[in-house]
Structure 1
Amino acid sequence: MPHDALEAGPGKLAPAEARKITGHVTRLSVMVAATLVIAKLIAWILSGSIAMLASLADSSLDLVASLTTFFAVRYAATPADAEHRYGHGKAEALASLLQALLVALSAGYLIHESWNRFVDPQPLDAGAIALSVMGLSIALTLGLVWAQTRAVKQTGSLAVTGDRAHYFADLSSNMVVVVGLVLALVGIERADPIMGFIVVLWLFWTAFTVGREAISALMDRELPDEEREQIKALAADDPRVLGVHQLRTRASGPFIHIQMHMELEPELTLTQAHAILVAAEARVMAAYPAADVLIHPDPKGRAAPHGNAYFGRDGASSAGPADDPA
């Protein structure tokens, strides 16, 4: 499969380029979130709408999450050092996990506020101002989501993906808030807290999806199967390579880490085997500039069992499901 046919993901851009793209879009995210927090705070003070309060709380947490993402993507792209030999890429996953926790907490708070307003409905004031603010919110959020989608396609950033998930939820919740405001203005006062409950459901779903992806990254989930097949094909694209097995991969922010065993003719000298491995690393890194590649050479048919079987390294000498458990 051609490399370009694969969906964008970590490792496919040089770290400096990925940092430039994610840095731009996270700055934009912070600016949009700050603007919406100020506008919604004013609209809530003037209108007293619980649905507007729900949207304000969501935007406030989005601002915190966007600031976290802003710093996380920069830290994640910094080079490895003596204390973090695998780099700092998991900062993106930690930022996404924090986003999920914040959204879940806000949803819990909004359940309480929505219930109180449902039991004791209140008329809304300054409804036109509230509707104008929601229109502004929808327009700014649409622009931000478009920019984030482009950044995710280029970098595969988990942190930006999590931030985008918040704003996708915001689009839906903002539209729901508009419906609640309109219904409340025509006399259906309980429509406002009911819309608040619907926003809560969106928040919980967002927290679940973002948290699930963050935990998967922190648990070193393998790259998708099509990516793994692409890596195998690149590594084996040399008639001197007799097989590739025990491929292990994981993503870490803008980086990926790749390990594999490569079967070679037993009679090769160490210098010859080294040259083949270096050429294979170069092929993989041409497609994945932010990859850390480690290849272990095995003499074809003579590789005694080695490594730790607990991690799937059983020393088998032929590629197949039994010796490539991932």
Structure 2
Amino acid sequence: MGFTTLVNEYRGGVLENVHYGAISVVDEKGTILYSAGDPEHMTFLRSAAKPFQAIPVMKRKIDKIYGLTGQETALFAASHRGEAFHIDALESILHKTGIQEEGLHCCATYPLNEDAKAERHRAHESKRRIFHNCSGKHSGLIALSKHMGWDEHSYYDPEHPVQQEIVETLAYMAEVSANSIPLGVDGCGLPIFALPLNKIAYSFLKLACPDLIEDTDTRDAATRIAVLMNEFPDMIADTKFVCSALLKDANLVAKGGAKGVYGIGLRKERIAISLKVSDGSEQVWPCIIASILESIGYSNRETIDRLLALAPNTIVNDGGTEVGERRAVFELKA
């Protein structure tokens, strides 16, 4: 599979868990600068695709047409975790666009954020579609379909115009042919796409450095969604998650997806990073990303510290006693 050891976890000095994966770091020409494991490992983007899925929505200025705020628009690229301010913004989007919650293809669920979930349980609330972490993306795609006169009910079908435009957008950003992109079905029921890790990184670099995008409309749309992600980072995940922690750094455009995939574009450095944890763990993202940033000499220590505060490399038990450690063990090879 081309994976290498990324993180070892020790308990009482004994190796307990090993997390394998692959990393790719590319420059503005798409050249692989550094890697660990196979830098071209084919990987489903899962929710890391959301900024690219939002580009067709931003191209048509759906936010302007329906009078959405910046916070609301940022949800088009979000994996929100259902905090109260997310739900308030989503209800506002539905009200302004005239979309019915039942029209969202994502299933009804409870929020991913544990505190938010507990709050809904205490209030004896039922599962809702807007509690689903992908509901912002779905709202944007329905609003685009409504504006374009496309069928609003089948927007999740791979043959639907909105899905065809998304695939073409991703192919354009990654500089691959659309028919070379493998398709699957994401957790929320929408089509999802696989790319080699280096192409995922290159796509994120274009989000960070949109001057690399030749098409004016695509460049403007990518610029706007990336800026909103930085302006409203807590809308993209929540107040205690990796994506929001990274996006508080204005130099970064970052988005993770289910099963351990992550993409980061660095504006000043004009490089980008992608990674895949083979066992799908998200808990080791902070350890891996912090180690990568340290390895490339990233200057913003505050960002690295903010990451490690989310998931410290010191492992504690349920009572808060230190019982082990998490250690990044990979080396980036030129």
Q: Same fold (TM over 0.5)?
A: no
Higher strand share: 2
TM-score, with structure 1 as normaliser: 0.27
Higher RCO (Cα < 8 Å, 6 or more apart): 2
TM-score, with structure 2 as normaliser: 0.26
| Structure index of larger Rg | 1
Higher helix share: 1
